[in-house]
Amino acid sequence: MKQLNRREWLKKAGTGCAGLALVTSPLMGLAQSLASGPIRVLVGMGAGGATDSIARLYAQKLLEQLGSPVVIENKPGAFQMQAINSVKDAAPNGRMLYMGTGSSLSLFPAIRKDVSYDPMKDFSFIGLTGISSAVITINAELPVKTLQELIDYSAQNPGQINYGSAGVGSANHIKTEYLKLVSGLKAEHIPYKSDTDILIQVAAGTVHLSITTIQSAMPFIKDGRVRAIAVTAPKELSYLPGVPGTEEVAIKGLEAIEPYSYFGLVGPKNMPEKLIGELNSTINKVSSMPDVQNRMRDTFYTEPFIGTPDDFRKMNQREIDRARDLGQKLNLNL
């Protein structure tokens, strides 16, 4: 079957309380129901990361388009469930939304037994804002240059290779276990708390391998502290020239590691269709802006997405199904 390049994949996908940021502006008025008060967008992570940064970018642009004040509220902890539960129980009037991630909307519900929500039943899907790939990095002193060489090295040196993750059940944990499953890579798991923690340890040589967001890894790659050996996108990415994608490393099944994550706005269930449509149209307008597209790609290393609420919902269901199947294959009981 013909493999899709990154842009073709994105097109097909589209069809198939710590820290507050407040921005205000004179009312421009798009939805009357939103014009008289602020919109709160909850982020289940701390300030400064990719999810928070993308949420703040869209908050500013939504403000300009809707005319309503937009508040970004960080509620980190409990695998984003503090933020999720607040939105899940909110009134469906569009005043409280959640910037969801691939982990919280598909991965955790599929493989964890301790989540208190069903994203397909408890949320109104509004609009996907972007899809992001990850980068596979290794300690620069390891005597390998490619992913296949790393796999071979791990077989020749049993028990000598480890990998880091942002915790049991995190995206890097599950994606690396999947890499091991399809490639034969031998590596022991060491959990940390964040992508930055992992990369510091990879740079120091305490950890040998990581799969992390490109935004987190790029400073370490640029100064040579870690070596990038592959990306989870199908093809080489413009901002990591010379680093092959999953099609180019020719490991059967590895293409299913993508997307690494995605970001999108959801609200409580039973939001009015008209309101969802207005918000989705506005999100798409923001995603089409050249300055937003440049920022998403050049700063957050995320591909902007334009599509309908149904595109978002169908993609999320597909990712839940894939994650659940993977959890069964890996015999995960989290």
Give the pLDDT of residue 331.
80
The two structure tokens encoding residue 57: 């970018």
Parallel, antiparallel, or unpaired: how do β-strands 162-165 and 209-213 relate? parallel
Parallel, antiparallel, or unpaired: how do β-strands 39-43 and 70-74 relate? parallel
Give the pLDDT of residue 76.
87
Backbone torsion region of residue 152, taken as left when φ is above 0, otherwise alpha when ψ lies between -120 and 50, otherwise beta: alpha
The answer for residues whose C-beta is within 8 angstroms of residue 41's C-beta and 6 or more apart is: 55, 58, 59, 70, 71, 72, 73, 97, 98, 99, 265
Q: Which residue has the tokens 């397909």?
A: 120
Q: Where in the chain is the domain with CATH 3.40.190.150?
A: 6-132+261-329
Give the pLDDT of residue 98.
97
147-161: average pLDDT: 96
Count Cα atoms within 13 angstroms, Cβ side, for 107: 23
- Residue 17 scores a pLDDT above 60: no
CATH fold for the domain made of 6-132+261-329: D-Maltodextrin-Binding Protein; domain 2 (3.40.190)
Q: Where in the chain is the domain with CATH 3.40.190.10?
A: 134-257
**Calpha distance 195→95 (Å, rounded):** 31
The answer for residues whose C-beta is within 8 angstroms of residue 38's C-beta and 6 or more apart is: 22, 68, 69, 70, 71, 95
- CA torsion 263→209→295→193, rounded to 10°? 60
The two structure tokens encoding residue 268: 């409580």
Per-residue HEC secondary structure of 127-146 comes to: EEEEEECEEEEEECCCCCCC
- pTM of the predicted model as reported, rounded to 2 decimal places: 0.85
β-bridge mates for residue 304, sequence order: 130
Q: Does domain 134-257 have CATH number 3.30.300.20?
A: no
30-40: average pLDDT: 67
- Residue 109 scores a pLDDT above 50: yes
Task: Extract long-range pairs of 285-290: CB within 8 Å, 24+ residues apart.
Answer: 285/65, 286/58, 286/61, 286/62, 286/65, 286/129, 287/129, 287/130, 289/61
Specify whether the CB–CB gap between 132 and 68 falls below 8 A: no
- Residue 3 scores a pLDDT above 50: no
Specify whether the CB–CB gap between 263 and 99 falls below 8 A: yes
Measure Cα distances from 111 to 194, 257, 324 in Å: 20, 15, 6
Percentage of the chain exceeding pLDDT 90: 73
The answer for residues whose C-beta is within 8 angstroms of residue 249's C-beta and 6 or more apart is: 146, 147, 148, 230
**Calpha distance 226→196 (Å, rounded):** 12
- Residue 250 scores a pLDDT above 90: no
**Calpha distance 1→28 (Å, rounded):** 49
**Calpha distance 230→151 (Å, rounded):** 13
**Calpha distance 294→99 (Å, rounded):** 20
Average pLDDT of the chain, as a whole number: 88
149-159: average pLDDT: 96
pLDDT band for 259, please (50, 70, 90 cuts).
very high
What's the pLDDT tens digit per position in 176-217?
999 999 999 999 999 998 889 999 999 999 999 999 999 999
